[in-house]
Structure 1
Amino acid sequence: MQRILIKNTIKLIIGGIAIGLLHQYDLVLAILLALKIAHSFYKNIKKQTFSIALVIGFVITGIIGIAVEHAGTSYGYWEYHDISRQVPLWIFFAWGAAFILMYQIENQVYQATPNLSDNSKKYLTLFMAAFFPTLGEIIAINLGTWTYYVPYQILGVPFAAIVALIIIHSSVNAFLGFTSKKFGIKDMVFNPQKM
């Protein structure tokens, strides 16, 4: 499990640096993220691990991300730099990519440790929802992508934002777990007993 987390942390760091360095090239960054996401879907199809829950989670998380970002920038809680619009074009893809990264980590961990308890899975989900998006934000913020104007920050990320990320990502996971079981969607992460 350690190796999986380290490998994906490195991938996240590279993604955060890419967003930080390319954030002013709004459309280019959106296209690059869309291509990376298409590649992730392709890899899952090729490995025969593709699930409709992955697509649903990506879309829901991306839509929530747009809504949250629009509300946050409208109320002046944060602002993006070096772009001509309120919310960057790449936001949908960045939020969706965060879901995909966490999904892939969970998938890899569950395959490597099939006897992981339900409690351990819940703690892993909470850890990932707190750690990975926050790390990505820290990197992008410190490369000048945006600034938060909310107090009680950890390396530029407010504690309230970390809590919100945990709630959002955990809620999406809970929704997908419920719907996967209810509708019999086969999925290693959300409905493993059906696999």
Structure 2
Amino acid sequence: MKKILLEGTLKLVIGGIIIGVLHKYDSLLAVLLFLKIIHSIYKAKKNNTYSIIFIIGMIFTGLIGLLTEYIGTEYGHWQYHEVNTQLPNWLFFAWVGAFVLMYGIEAKINLNYPNLTNKNKQLLVLFMAFFFPSLGEMIAINLGTWTYYWPYQILNLPLLAFFGLTVIHYLIHATLTLMSKKLNITDIVFNPMLLESIKIKQTTR
């Protein structure tokens, strides 16, 4: 499991650096992130970890992210730099990218460690909701992408942002889990009812 988490962390660090370095090239960064998301969808479909909940989760996360960002910037809690609009064009895709990254990590863990208890799964989800979004923001912030105006900061990320990011991503996960179970939709992350059959299909490719 450590290897999977470390690989995910490396991907996140690279993504944070790319956003930090290219944030001034608003449209270019938006296109690059969009292409990366398309590639991730293709990989998920090829590896048979694709489901409609995966797509819903991407759109839902992106929209929740944009709403949060609009409220935060509108009321002066943070501000993006070197853009001509209130919110940069790449922002929706960055939120979607965060969802895709954590989905991929959890999917790998579920496939490789199918006997995890529900308690350990919930602790894993909570850890990822806390660690990955916050680390990504720290990297991008310190490369000049935006500034928070809240007090009590660690590496320019306020404690309130740590809490807010954790709650948002954890609740998104909980909502998608509930939705997939209510609608009886099998998903490798949110409702892995047919996990063994998915693993069998993958080994026969």
Separation in 2, partners of 1:110, 1:48? 13
Q: How many positions carry a matched residue from both structures?
A: 195
CA shift at 1:85, angstroms?
0.7
CA shift at 1:146, angstroms?
0.3
Q: Give the TM-score normalised by structure 2.
A: 0.93
Unaligned runs of 5+ in 2: 196-205
What's 2:61 paired with? 61
Unaligned runs of 5+ in 1: none
CA shift at 1:49, angstroms?
1.2
Q: Where does structure 1 differ by over 2 angstroms across 4 or more consecutive aligned residues?
A: none
SS at structure 2 position matched to 1:96 = helix
Separation in 2, partners of 1:189, 1:24? 35
SS at structure 2 position matched to 1:193 = coil
Separation in 2, partners of 1:135, 1:167? 15
What's 2:32 paired with? 32
1:91-147: CA deviation from partner (whole Å, max 9, x where unpaired): 110001101111111111111111001111111111101100011001000000000
What's 1:159 paired with? 159
What's 1:141 paired with? 141
Q: CA RMSD in A?
A: 0.8
1:66-94: CA deviation from partner (whole Å, max 9, x where unpaired): 11111101111110011111111111100
Equivalent residues in 2 for 1:28-177 (5 A)?
A: 28-177=28-177
SS at structure 1 position matched to 2:48 = coil
Q: Is this contact kept in 2: 1:173–1:190, CA < 8 A?
A: yes
Separation in 2, partners of 1:172, 1:52? 15
Q: Give the TM-score normalised by structure 1.
A: 0.98
Q: Is this contact kept in 2: 1:80–1:146, CA < 8 A?
A: yes
What's 1:7 paired with? 7
